[in-house]
Structure 1
Amino acid sequence: MNILLVNVPHPAIGSRIPKEQLPPFGLLCIGGPLIDDGHHVELIDAEFGPLSLPDLIAQIVRRSPDAVLFGHSGSSSGHPIITQVSAAVAQAMPAATIVYGGVHPTYFWREILANEPHVKAIVRGEGEETARRLMRAIEQGKPLDTVSGIAWRLDGLPTANQVAPVITDLDAYRVGWELIDHARYSYWGGKRAVVIQFSRGCPHLCNYCGQRGFWTRWRHRDPVRLAREIARLNREHGVEVFNFADENPSAGRKPWRKFLEALIAENVSVTLVGSTRADDIVRDADILHLYKKAGFERFLMGMENTDEATLKLIRKGGAIASDREAIRLLRRHNILSMATWVAGFDDQTDADLFRGLRQLVSYDADQIQALYVTPHRWTPYYRLAQDRPVVQRDPTKWDYKHQVLGMSRMSPGRLFVWVKLIEAVAQLRPKALMRWAWHPDPKIRHAIRWYYRMGRRVWLHEIAGFLFRDRVGGDGRSVADHLGAAQDHEEEASLVVRRPRAHGATDTTLKPVSSV
């Protein structure tokens, strides 16, 4: 089959401001197995430019694919754009098969299949094996009910079979790197870059996380094989920066250390950036020199809030003491720390935000990223937020960088001013500016100055957007009115197969999603 993978443009994402682009890793993960199955596979990455929607539709139609597969890392905020483009493509090419995958369609398959008749099937959960089987079934004209892990229409009604088993061997499916021109992708200030993944999932129980249930459980790639892949991409394609897509790559200390040591043995000069938990940094205090030697220059740590009551509410599982210690340890090893901080909880007041500002400054992280709490229907937190009013009705702006939920004690404008003030104070305080001006490590100094250039442009762009472009204001509807009933009973998107018990019991499974 001629298969076209499409990454739609997403104008609400402010990271496009620096005119740097990372490849759509999820689509590349699907592309590799499909190529290996003998299909002709191409990728259109409409984030370049970005392409206008008419130009993107024209490019898709010009290629005359048998199947068009849509997916987007923005997930829910990218969905309206995928809806528009896929409908236009189906109208222009009625014979083409439209398939949709990713986090959002995994949970909203009922609504999508009911409202978007051009979508043939939805891939639920991890897509590597499911996409292979789905394309094979379509090519051979087999019934779709033979493919686990999808949703489709049966007698005109949305239906879904059993979810697919979780992929236990992440090295069984290769990434389709040949689908991209590496020279076009950059990050970290013009350096050739890609997204990479050591692990999937997270063992922690944060109740607002939209990723935990999608991956179902934590697993990791073979540490040595991943190190070799990074080294090959560096030597053969000149890739310098590797941005880890993992939620928590360091969750397993033993495999994580093995990866660091294997990459050090490859003797390549690379820059690694990623996310982890402060607790893991504190745990690994004795091997942080390996982090640095392997190439890590920055870690984003999801601290979410500096208020213990809020951390308890969202079941973060961390502590302020470990957050501070992690930042201190990273600085000692010359690795940048980025702390995320989330605003928009219902009962926050001016006093709470002022206290949060003081605590953030005392943390002394190198960088901060202020976000807004955003509910996902399939998470436990949704039940806490479902009755709150919505102040941003445009779903493309439900991207963590725009306030979505109304607050009982603060207007959207007032919260916006606080968030911008917190960002400015945290980044312009004397200690931060001293590092910008005189950091002794040239690589870290480059990273700091690049981030400031990008951050300044994004900061001004977001202010202009709030004042002149965004339409902020509710219509009296709640989150549940917009998104529907809670779906946390279907949070796990893949099937976990248990090992037989010692006494010989047969395998059992956890939480299969029943057909509808």
Structure 2
Amino acid sequence: MKIVLINPPHTAIGSRIPDDHLPPLGLLSVAGPLIDDGHDLSLIDAEFGPMTIAEIIDRITANGPDLVLIGHSGSTSAHPTARAIAEAVKRSDPAIRVVYGGVFPTYHWREVLAETEAFDIVVRGEGEETMRRLAGALAANRPLDAIAGIAYRDGRGEVRATQPAQAIADLAAYRIGWELIDHASYSYWGGKRAVVMQFSRGCPHLCNYCGQRGFWTRWRHRSPELFAREIARLYHEQGVELINLADENPTSSRKAWLAFLEAMIAENVPVQIVGSTRADDIVRDADILHLYRKAGVVRWLLGMENTDEATLALIKKGGAKTTDREAIRLLRQHDILSMATWVVGFEEEKLSDLWRGFRQLLSYDPDQIQALYVTPHRWTPFFRIARDRQVIETDIRKWDYKHQVLKMRYLNPFVLIACVKLIEVAVQARPKALVRILFHRDREQRHSMRWYTQMGRRVWFHEVLEFLFRRRHLKNGPTLENFWGAPQDDEEESMLRPQRHIKSLDAAE
């Protein structure tokens, strides 16, 4: 079959403001197995430009595909654009089948297929094996009801869903279709040639607001040695300088992560690694952090989410303020940058709560801060907790963590954004932070910090101007449940557990 993969142009601030773009890992992960099965694939990465829908359709028409596959990593806020593309595809050629995948359609497949006939099939959960089977069935004109992990409209126009697919047990069985991209077009961290990769999938922790934990069903990791070898190959053959890990928690297993660090050191390639992990894993690994840095790790985003113990308990974060502070200290000791995420809106904060949070952030002394707004997902347990709160933003393109979407009882939107923006400035522009940006002993880290500061400044002004001139919040909006529908945390796990037990799944190793 002739298949076109589409990465929609994302409206989120993080996609539009930076000059850098990263390749769409999800689509490339699905592409590899399809290419190996003999299908003819091409990729339209509409983030560049960004491309208009008319330009996307022209590219699709030029390819003349049998199948169009649409997916985006920011799938909730990208959904309106994905839908517009799908509807334009159908208008241009109704015979083209449109397949839709990602986290949002995995859980909202009922609504997705009910709101428009432009999407023919939704892939639920991991796409590598499901898409192989789906493409094979479509090419041979076989029935779809035997393919696990999809939802579709049958010949009578009725929406049907098959049983969930099983999560992939052996991640090494599926390769990434790197040949679909020009590596020279993708960069990060201030112009460094970069790719997105995954060492692991899933997370063993119980944070109740996380929209990714249930999607991956269970924590699994790749072969540490093979993963390091692939990174080295990308460096030698494509000049890749930086790896952005898309894992939720790559360090869950100390044993597996240590094996990866040692394999990277053995490969001896000057590749930098950035990603996200937990503060308690950093403290756990205090004795091997020198290996983190030697292997190329230069920055960790630490998902601290909040600085209030009661809030951390509410969202079942499982962390502690003392651990968060110690993790940042340890990272700095080993010349690894720390970025602390701080989320407002989990509870009905007052000004005094924000002041206390600000003081706590100062005591943490992170190198960078990313201030976010709580953005509940219907398939998470936190959605049930917040179901009666009012929605003030009904444009789901703004449900990207960088916009306030839920009403606060004590703080109106103007006061909240003013506090958040002032806190960002105060944390990033404090004397300690400025000294590090200007005089950090590591030249590469100085470059990284200056690049992030430059991007942060551009985003900061964009957010303020957008709030003042382009946003209109509802004063009496619908409840969260009325807006999205009933909680579906009973469906949180999108796939069945892997059949084959893998020893490395034990995060306590």
TM-score exceeds 0.5: yes
| 1:296-445 → structure 2 map (5 Å cutoff) | 296-445=297-446
Relative to structure 1, is the Cα distance of residues 498 and 89 closer, same or farther in structure 2, using a 3 angstrom cutoff? closer
**1:142-161 paired onto structure 2 within 5 Å:** 142-154=142-154, 155-161=156-162
Partner of 2:89: 89
- 10-19 vs 369-378, which deviates more? 10-19
Contact 1:114/1:157 (<8 A) preserved:
no
For 1:191 and 1:498, the matched residues in 2 are separated by 40
Distance 1:41 1:15 in 2: 25
Q: After TM superposition, give the deviation of residue 121 of structure 1 in Å.
A: 0.8
Report the AA paired with residue 123 of structure 1.
V
Alignment-mate amino acid for residue 180 of structure 1: I
Q: Distance in 2 between matches of 1:424 and 1:15?
A: 22
1:106 matched to which residue of 2? 106
The 3-state SS of whatever aligns with 2:42 is: strand
> For residue 282 of structure 1, what is the amino acid of its counterpart?
V
What is the aligned partner in structure 2 of residue 251 from structure 1? 252
CA distance in 1: counterparts of 2:417 and 2:53, whole angstroms: 30
Report if the CA contact (8 A) 2:169-2:500 is conserved. no
2:166–2:499 contact (8 Å) kept in structure 1? no
In structure 2, how many angstroms separate the alpha carbons of the residues matched to 1:212 and 1:127?
16
Contact 1:389 1:474 in 2 (8 A): no
1:173 maps to amino acid: Y
Q: Alignment partner of 1:339: what SS?
A: strand
Helix, strand or coil at the partner of 2:163: coil
User: 2:467 aligns to what?
Assistant: 466
CA distance in 2, matches of 1:472, 1:109: 28
Aligned residue runs from structure 1 range 284-299, under 5 A = 284-299=285-300
Correspondences of 1:471-482 after superposition (within 5 Å):
471-482=472-483
Tell me, in whole angstroms, the C-alpha distance in 1 between the residues paired with 2:277 and 2:64: 42
| Pairwise CA distance, 1:499 | 6.7
**How big is each residue's C-alpha offset from its partner over 1:216-273, in whole Å with a ceiling of 9 and x where there is no partner?**
0000000000000000000100000100000000000001100010011001001100
Residues 475-514 of structure 1 correspond to what in structure 2 (within 5 A)?
475-497=476-498
What SS does structure 1 have at the residue aligned with 2:145? Answer: helix
Alignment of 1:213-252 (within 5 A): 213-252=214-253
Q: Where does residue 50 of structure 1 map in the other structure? A: 50
Determine the structure 2 residue equivalent to 1:120: 120
CA distance in 2, matches of 1:158, 1:488: 22
SS in structure 2 at match of 1:301: strand
Aligned pair count?
A: 500
Give the gaps of 5 or more residues in structure 1.
Answer: 501-516
Q: Per-residue deviation at 1:18?
A: 2.2
Q: Distance in 2 between matches of 1:474 and 1:124?
A: 35
1:393 shift after superposition: 1.3
Match of 2:294, as an amino acid? K
Secondary structure of the corresponding residue to residue 145 of structure 1: coil
Moved more, 206-215 or 408-417: 408-417
- Given that residues 30 and 131 in structure 1 are in contact (C-alpha distance below 8 angstroms), is that contact kept between their aligned partners in structure 2? yes
Query: Aligned partners of 1:499, 1:239: CA distance in 2, in Å?
Result: 34
Is the 8 Å Cα contact of residues 106 and 124 (structure 2) preserved in structure 1? Answer: yes
Question: Aligned equivalents of 2:82 and 2:170: distance in 1?
Answer: 30
- Once the two structures are TM-superposed, the CA of residue 444 in structure 1 deviates from its matched residue by 0.7
- Residue 33 of structure 1 aligns with an amino acid whose one-letter code is P
Give the aligned CA root-mean-square deviation in angstroms: 1.1
Alpha-carbon distance in 2 for matches of 1:258, 1:40: 37
TM-score, normalisation: structure 1: 0.96
Amino acid at match of 1:432: A
- Percent sequence identity is 63
Partner of 1:508: none
State the Cα distance separating 1:422 from its structure 2 match.
0.9
User: Which residue is equivalent to 2:275?
Assistant: 274
Separation (CA, whole Å) in 1 of partners of 2:343 and 2:445: 26
Asked if the contact 1:90–1:118 (Cα under 8 Å) also holds between the matched residues in 2, the reply is yes
User: Residues 77 and 395 of structure 1 are in contact (CA less than 8 Å); yes or no, is this contact kept in structure 2?
Assistant: yes
* Runs of 4+ deviating beyond 6 Å: none
Shift of 1:322: 0.5
Cα contact 1:345–1:407 (8 A) shared by 2: no
How far the C-alpha of 1:14 sits from its partner, in A, is: 2.7
Shift, 1:348, TM fit? 0.2
Give runs of aligned pairs for residues 146-225 of structure 1, distance below 5 A.
Answer: 146-154=146-154, 155-225=156-226
Deviation at 1:344, TM superposition (A): 1.7
Measure, in 2, the Cα distance between the counterparts of 1:57 and 1:408.
Answer: 45
Q: Aligned pair 1:59/2:97, yes or no?
A: no
The C-alpha deviation readout for 1:291-315, integer Å capped at 9, x for no partner, is 0000011000000000000000000
Q: Is the contact made by 2:121 and 2:151 (CA closer than 8 Å) also made in structure 1? A: yes
1:50-100 deviation per Cα after TM superposition (whole angstroms, max 9, x unaligned): 112221222222221110000011111100100011011011111111000
Corresponding residue for 1:446?
A: 447
What residue in structure 2 maps to residue 80 of structure 1? Answer: 80
> What CA distance in whole angstroms lies between the structure 1 residues aligned with 2:379 and 2:360?
32
Partner of residue 506, structure 1: none
State the TM-score, normalizing by the size of structure 2: 0.97
Tell me the residue number matched to 1:509: none
- 1:337-356 C-alpha deviation (Å, 9 max, x unpaired): 00000012341000000110
The one-letter amino acid of 1:78's match is: A
Matched with 2:41 is 41
> Which segment is superposed worse, 471-480 or 281-290?
471-480
Distance 1:12 1:492, change over 3 A: same
Give the AA of the match of 1:449. R
